[in-house]
Amino acid sequence: MAEPEAMRKFLRQLRAVLSSQSLVAIEDGEELSRLESNLNSTGLKDSLEFIFENLAGLSRIPKSRLNGQAQGTITSGQFDFRSYYDDIARDQENDLRPIIEKAIKLIVREKQGEIYQKLGGNIEGLDWQFSFNPLWKLSEKEESEIDLTKARTSDVYLARGVLSPEEVKTKTFSKLETYPAWNGGPRPEFGDPQAIQEPESKPDSENAKIESQKPKEKQLTLF
């Protein structure tokens, strides 16, 4: 908790910034009087709006996000948020992505790591990618309209023989694609590395004894 003297100093500075009465230097014998003040209910609101506009401009955060209210019409408020999210997405791609990709490559190439051992050193055949969580979430109605448009487009491609059903499936459901490097053999499952566990054998049971003679399998999980 801040010290009382430091808190009083901060409040004095804040009051000096927000107050309409500034410091004025006058000569001996001169007097200063305030004849009129515009800080009624309307003037105070305009002053606070001016402060919020400056804060929004310096921080690149929409004013509607700072004060919790939409600025102007709903359309302009949505535009402010989209611009704000675009700035964040640009920073993610330009600044964060190179660092995260380098860290993942180092983890994959670690010879004593689970991934390297699971793949038998064939790390070049590992196809991986990552993406940031979406900042702007569509409504359920918008998502359903987009899915319906994609489904109709795929139906036209199939009807005219432009694409085969397998190609449409790969194009529409790319996340379900099986990587060629893993075809014909066991594929590692990725998830949390701490979830790796070996089956325990029970010597007092015949079935457990048979199971203990089988080669133990490990499930590799990442992220």
Please indicate whether residue 97 or residue 136 has the higher confidence score (pLDDT): 97
- Neighbouring CB atoms inside 10 A of 62's CB total 21
Long-range contacts of 146-155, Cβ-Cβ distance < 8 Å, separation of 24 or more:
none
Could you give the CA distance from residue 192 to residue 127 in angstroms, rounded to a whole number?
18
Alpha-helical segments (H) within the chain: 4-18, 41-59, 63-66, 74-91, 97-109, 114-118, 140-159, 165-172, 206-213
pLDDT of 10 higher than 60: yes
Could you give the CA distance from residue 191 to residue 219 in angstroms, rounded to a whole number?
9
Please indicate whether residue 79 or residue 197 has the higher confidence score (pLDDT): 79
Q: What are the tens digits of pLDDT across the range 49-79?
A: 888 888 888 888 887 777 765 544 444 556 6
Tokens of 93: 């791609």
For the full predicted model, state whether its pTM sits above 0.75.
no
152-165 burial, b at 16+ Cβ within 10 Å, e below that, comes to eebeebeeeeebee
Q: What are the tens digits of pLDDT across the range 78-113?
A: 667 778 888 889 999 999 999 999 999 888 888 888
Q: What are the tens digits of pLDDT across the range 15-34?
A: 766 665 666 777 888 887 76
